[in-house]
Structure 1
Amino acid sequence: MSLARPLAEKTEPAWPTWQEVARLSAVLLLAVLLQTTVAPHLRLLGASPDFALILVVCVALAKGAETGAVLGFATGLLTAVALMEPLGLGAFVFVLVGYYAGRYAETADLPAGLAPLLTVFAATVVANTLVATAQFLLAREVPLGFFLGRVLLPALVFNTLLAAPLYLLVRLWLQGKAGLRAAAR
Structure 2
Amino acid sequence: MRINRILLSSALVVIALVVQVTVLARLHLPGAVPDLMLLVVIGLTLVYGHTSGALIGFGAGLLADLAPPADHATGRYALVLCVIGYLVGLVRPESGRLRSATVPMLVVVAAAIGSTLLYAGVGSLVGDTAARHVGLTGLVLTATLYDLLLAPFTVPLIMALARRTENDPLAGEGPATLGGGGEGAFPRLGGQRGGLFGRPVRRQGRVKGVRRL
TM-score, normalised via structure 1 length = 0.78
Return the match for 2:92 from 76, 90, 105: 105
How many angstroms does 1:118 deviate by? 0.7
Could you tell me which residue of structure 1 aligns to residue 137 of structure 2? 148
1:26 has 2:26 as partner: no
Q: Could you tell me which amino acid in structure 1 is paired with residue 27 of structure 2?
A: L
- After TM superposition, the structure 1 = structure 2 runs for residues 73-92 of structure 1, keeping only pairs within 5 Å, are 73-83=58-68, 84=70, 85-92=72-79
Shift in CA distance, 20/146, structure 1 to aligned 2, threshold 3 Å: closer
Shift in CA distance, 178/122, structure 1 to aligned 2, threshold 3 Å: same
Shift in CA distance, 88/45, structure 1 to aligned 2, threshold 3 Å: same
Q: Could you tell me which amino acid in structure 2 is paired with residue 118 of structure 1?
A: L
Greater gyration radius: 2
Deviations 1:107-149 (A, max 9, x none): 6984421121111110111111111112333344443882112
TM-score, normalised via structure 2 length = 0.68
Q: Could you tell me which amino acid in structure 1 is paired with residue 126 of structure 2?
A: L
Identity score, percent: 29
| Greater percentage in helix | 1
1:45 has 2:30 as partner: yes
CA RMSD in angstroms comes to: 2.6
2:45 and 2:133 map into 1 onto residues whose CA distance is 30
1:170 has 2:155 as partner: no
Moved over 3 A (4+): 106-111, 138-145, 176-179
Deviations 1:140-161 (A, max 9, x none): 4443882112x11111100011
1:41 and 1:64 map into 2 onto residues whose CA distance is 33
- Which deviates more from structure 2 when the two are superposed, residues 55-64 or residues 100-109? 100-109
**Uncovered stretches (5+) of structure 2, i.e. residues with no partner:** 168-184, 186-213
1:43 and 1:64 map into 2 onto residues whose CA distance is 34
Shift in CA distance, 27/109, structure 1 to aligned 2, threshold 3 Å: closer
**Uncovered stretches (5+) of structure 1, i.e. residues with no partner:** 1-14
Shift in CA distance, 178/66, structure 1 to aligned 2, threshold 3 Å: closer
What is the DSSP-based 3-state SS (H/G/I as helix, E as strand, rest coil) of the residue aligned with 1:105?
Answer: coil
1:123 has 2:123 as partner: no
How many angstroms does 1:178 deviate by? 9.6
Kept in 2, the 8 Å contact 1:44–1:154? The answer is no
